[in-house]
């Protein structure tokens, strides 16, 4: 079960970009898909002897699909779908409320995304990226130029003397 669930989570994480999903922590891929697939597979592989291990249930449980209890698969699908729908609706309500609270917004401004969140929250902009693609000082993307590579960065840091003409 764990192997099949982890494979589903892996491919959800890998192909989420096809649906243009912007989720940096992969919470849906791991918890949403993993939980749903795990619930469904529990109905498939459930064994009747496992509940008897508590010493109270005895042999009252019929098992899952694997042991011929076809109804259990339907119960598991219904339960997993109900939990997923409940989580989706409650999350949407909470995110709507959070987005309306001043100072708590779901997305950063485009300027902050370009500059980087290090600059916004940590004021960590005392460096220039090697390669010359972005300078956090200005926060504006720049085109790479022949002099913007590592030699230019070394010159700016005072490691290497500048060319005098």
Per residue in 19-71, pLDDT (tens digit) is 787 777 888 889 999 999 999 999 888 888 887 787 787 777 788 888 888 88
Range of the domain at 152: 110-157
164, part of any domain? no
Query: pTM here?
Result: 0.61
Same domain? For 68 and 117 the reply is: no
**Highest mean pLDDT: which of 4-18, 54-68, 108-122?**
4-18
Same domain? For 96 and 139 the reply is: no
165, part of any domain? no
105, part of any domain? no
DSSP string, 103-162: T--SS--HHHHHH-HIIIII-------TTSSEETTTTEE----GGGSHHHHHHHHTSSPP
Same domain? For 65 and 11 the reply is: yes
Share of the chain above pLDDT 90, in %: 30
pLDDT at 49: 80
Q: Is 87 left (phi over 0), alpha (psi -120 to 50) or beta?
A: alpha
Same domain? For 88 and 123 the reply is: no
Same domain? For 63 and 25 the reply is: yes
Residue at a domain's end among 100, 125, 143: 100
Domain count, the chain: 2
């Amino acid at each position: 079960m764990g192997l099949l669930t982890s494979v589903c989570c892996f491919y959800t994480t890998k192909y989420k970009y096809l649906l243009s999903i912007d989720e940096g922590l992969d919470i849906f891929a791991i918890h949403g898909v993993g939980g749903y697939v795990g619930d469904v597979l529990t109905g498939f592989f459930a064994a009747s002897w496992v509940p008897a291990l508590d010493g109270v249930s005895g042999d009252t449980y019929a098992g899952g699909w694997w042991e011929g209890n076809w109804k259990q698969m339907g119960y598991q699908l219904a339960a997993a779908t109900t939990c997923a729908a409940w989580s989706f609706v409650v999350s949407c309500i909470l995110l709507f409320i959070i987005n309306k609270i001043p100072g708590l917004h779901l997305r950063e401004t485009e300027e902050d995304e370009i500059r980087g969140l290090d600059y916004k929250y940590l004021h960590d902009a005392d460096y220039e990226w090697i390669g010359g693609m972005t300078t956090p000082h200005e926060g504006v993307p720049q085109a790479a130029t022949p002099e913007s590579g590592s030699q230019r960065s070394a010159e700016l840091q005072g490691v290497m003397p500048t060319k005098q003409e």
